[in-house]
Structure 1
Amino acid sequence: MPHEDDRTTILLVDDHALVREGLREILETQEDLHVVGEAEDSATSVALAEQTQPDIVLLDVEIPGGKAKNTVSQIRKRSIRSRVIVLSMYEGPQLVQTLLAAGIRGYLLKSVHWQELVAAIRAVRADGDRVVLGVSGGSLRYVEQGSAANALSPREREVLDLVAQAFSNGQIAARLDLTEATVKRHLRNIFAKLGAVSRMDAVIKANVW
């Protein structure tokens, strides 16, 4: 049995008392997990995170009092050690991407089996850089593409903006005072970062419309 001080401390955040009670009952059956608090809205979750400094915050994506992204940012600011795992009824790939940028360490659907939830908590606690996503392959690809798009340099973004406007390589070169060879090099880098197979594919994946 783990020493009490070694247990993973968890803050539950959900506006439904029944959900919180169910989660607590499940988690407290595990000797290495310990629920240290419950909150039903954004402000209370931030205050409790600051007070209890939990290892893990299980956060319902639709709690009252503020957007999930802002709640995550506030929790991480008040409790640096806390790692946030979001629980949601739906996938929402754009939301997943936004929350990953805010610093969450997991996004799981509420339909997951309790054993998957426990495994995710343990994985995130054991490795601070670990991110656990319980979403479909399609949503995961969307998130990966979005991450790649964010990796484009300012110049690559400029080139792709002009590609989206149907400019040729020669026209792009003239507009940006570059050589055509340089434009082609930027396009090769863009294709590689986005996993794109054509100019149109790159525009779509980078979402520059």
Structure 2
Amino acid sequence: MTPRTILIVDSHTLVRQGVREILEEHSGLRVVGEVGNGDEAVTVVADHRPDVVLLEVGGAGTDAVTTVRRIRRQSPGTKVIVLSMQERPELLRALLEAGIRGYLLKTVTRHELVAAIQAVDDPERIVLSVSRRSLPEDDGAQPAQLTEREREVLELTARALTNRQIANRLALTEATVKRHLRNIFAKLGAGSRLDAVNRAVLAGLIEPPQNRL
């Protein structure tokens, strides 16, 4: 099996070395570089096209958003996971809109970090490990109202279950699951399963999906 390639971006050399040591304990992960800022990250991404970029967010959140966009333009297949000590709802919203696939506080364990890297291969999953206060607050618009069944379907969707698995779990038909998802998409204004999960989490309609070993 080809190892998953990873670029570490953090302004602190000691942190980069520590993360590298954690990742290199796993045979399925290979660190292809470690750099200290966004400009260097974009250059390495252009050369190596890593599977995952672990991007530390420093004091300048806007720079992080710009870096994410530049990385995705250089290598659309590269997944960006943000590591942060900050709990800023507006920053989380901007980074999600820029296309990150995960946002982890630096208080996560090494097992949660590895699990997050493994989870982003699923195109329908986003990994959030944040406190409730990190989630963006309502901007004044009336939140969408989901039925209890729709919420159950969406929570299972957030855990990357297929329509068939959701149907089996809830004793429904696949057609019924699809109908619930269509209704959810319409209520949330979502264009995909991942978009629906993101919007529901940001609106506080479901809990952020957790990924633990």
TM-score with structure 2 setting the length: 0.63
* 1:97 equivalent among 83, 87, 93: 93
Per-residue CA deviation, residues 76-95 of structure 1 (Å, 9 max, x unaligned), is 00011100000001221110
| 1:40 matched to 2:40 | no
Which has the bigger relative contact order, CA under 8 A and spacing at least 6? 2
Change (3 A) 1:138 1:25: same
- State the distance in 1 between where 2:15 and 2:133 align: 28
* 2:15 equivalent among 2, 11, 19: 19
- 1:9–1:33: 8 Å Cα contact kept in structure 2? yes
Task: Identify the range of structure 1 (130-139 vs 9-18) with the bigger mean alpha-carbon deviation.
Answer: 130-139
Residue equivalent to 1:106: 102
* 2:84 equivalent among 88, 110, 115: 88
The amino acid that maps onto 1:47 is T
- State the distance in 2 between where 1:105 and 1:71 align: 14
The Cα shift of 1:139 comes to 2.8
Residue equivalent to 1:172: none
How many residue pairs get aligned? The number is 147
| 1:29 matched to 2:25 | yes
- State the distance in 2 between where 1:149 and 1:23 align: 42
- State the distance in 2 between where 1:62 and 1:9 align: 23
Change (3 A) 1:51 1:10: same
The Cα shift of 1:131 comes to 0.7
Matches within 5 A, 1:1-209: 3=1, 6-62=2-58, 67-125=63-121, 127-140=122-135, 142=136, 145=138
- 1:9–1:35: 8 Å Cα contact kept in structure 2? yes
* Structure 1 runs not aligned, ≥5 long: 152-191, 195-204
* Structure 2 runs not aligned, ≥5 long: 145-186, 190-202, 204-213
- 2:81–2:101: 8 Å Cα contact kept in structure 1? yes
Residue equivalent to 1:161: none
Which one has the bigger helix percentage? 1
- 1:58–1:87: 8 Å Cα contact kept in structure 2? yes
Change (3 A) 1:75 1:18: same
The Cα shift of 1:135 comes to 0.7
How much identity, in percent, do the aligned residues show? Answer: 49
SS of alignment partner, residue 67 of structure 1: helix
SS of alignment partner, residue 120 of structure 2: helix
- State the distance in 1 between where 2:80 and 2:54 align: 6
Larger Rg, first or second structure (1 or 2): 1
Residue equivalent to 1:169: none
The Cα shift of 1:36 comes to 0.6
